[in-house]
A = this chain, B = another copy of it.
């Protein structure tokens, strides 16, 4: 099976590295320079003490024709809009598109995309991009995939092959539940850790932070009309425990002065709240403080 991967950030590089064991991978990058570097060096995958070099073909995005059996779109939510405009100008209608964005605000965009099947996924692997062709796999985690629109003839075959190369993924029936579960954890852990500049575990070990976690969760639960909030809250505690020593992706983004995913996470929840005429003071405040962090990034302090 031919697979195209669009975007060579940490998740794009990680997927390209692992999936190349079973599939013919083409990686599409934002810049010509990055494609050249990957073609020259391969992808350097660091996992614990082991480093491996994986040879994949790389091209700039403009070479993507959408003809692969499966295309995995691994860009950030805020980079999605031009990709979708590009997609809709392709000569062919793509077969299977898999979108791996965090949050849920991209779903509205996906409604406008033409493809035989549109899949969405949530990725719980920990990965850091080291340079344009190197990625560190910090921690194994689940990959969940669900059909968002259309009918995929490829998905079960894809999942089967992934299991054989020990890069397992789980097919979920209900894309909304799948994404909501990830969203809830992201919406609590990411903004708080990024604002407080603490590791995930501190949100539960620090009693005051834990009170703030609860208050934020209650607003999220109300907006999402969660049926079993206690279970969902326990899930968050478990993630904080299990990833206690990790820095959340948003904390890393803020520290590195990068744009964050705050719009697709808390921004989405604020939009949902507005539709239901629910106020969410904490969500609103955390949203403002993180947008403020984005506004000052790159400024000399």
Could you tell me which A residues sit within 8 Å of B by CB distance? 195-199, 202, 206-209, 211-212, 215, 281-282, 284-285, 288-289, 291-296, 301
A-B contact pairs, 19 of them (CB 8 A): A195-B195, A196-B289, A197-B197, A198-B296, A202-B296, A206-B295, A206-B296, A208-B288, A208-B292, A208-B294, A209-B289, A212-B285, A212-B289, A212-B292, A215-B281, A215-B284, A215-B285, A281-B282, A282-B285
Which residues from chain B contact A285 at a C-beta distance below 8 Å?
212, 215, 281-282, 285
Contact B195 A288 (CB under 8 A): no
CB distance from A240 to the nearest CB of B (A): 14
Q: Which of B211, B292, B295 lies in contact with A288, CB distance below 8 A?
A: B211
**Chain B residues with CB under 8 A of A296:** 198, 202, 206
Residue of B nearest to A203 (CB): B292
Q: Which residues of B contact A199 (CB under 8 A)?
A: 301
Q: Which residues of B contact A292 (CB under 8 A)?
A: 196, 206-209, 212
Residues of B within 8 A of A282 (CB): 281, 285
